[in-house]
Amino acid sequence: MIYIGADHGGFGLKEKLKEFLTTAKIEFMDVGNFKLDMDDDYVDFVEKVVMGVKSDLKNNLGIVICRSGVGSAMVANKHDDIMAANVTTALMAEKSRMDNNANILALGGDYLDPNTA
């Protein structure tokens, strides 16, 4: 299962990624935000993704999205058993998973277009 969450800075990209995951028949759970809310805080959604990933570390992965991806990665990495990588290319994502065992991708909504993400 892939848990995905984003604040207002990543909301648009999250919605596009959900379309891709649905089309690819990849199981995911959206943990919010469920509407564009300029007053939300990425920390709330990172925590939900982290809890989802930690519920089954062998099988679950996560995606967190904020404006830059940096803050989301920092919050996620405060948790035991979580390795979040802020990535900007598909190769970075692949290497983060294969070489560093990253279990959460942190993406920047201001820096990635949906096709790259």
Extents of the domains making up the chain = 2-97
pLDDT band for position 117 (50/70/90)? Answer: confident
Closest CA to 111 of 94, 93, 86, 92: 86
Burial label for 32, CB within 10 Å (0-12, 13-18, 19+), is middle
63 is catalytic: no
CATH topology of domain 2-97: Ribose 5-phosphate Isomerase B; Chain: A, (3.40.1400)
pLDDT band for position 5 (50/70/90)? Answer: very high
Distance CA 46, CA 42 (A): 6
Cα 47–Cα 1–Cα 22 angle in degrees, nearest 5: 110
What are 31-48's pLDDT values in tens digits?
999 999 999 999 999 999
Quick one: average pLDDT of 52-67?
98
Closest CA to 66 of 35, 108, 99: 108
**If you search the block for the tokens 């058993």, which residue do you land on?**
81
Distance CA 38, CA 22 (A): 26
The active-site residue out of 17, 66, 105, 112 is 66
pLDDT at 115: 86
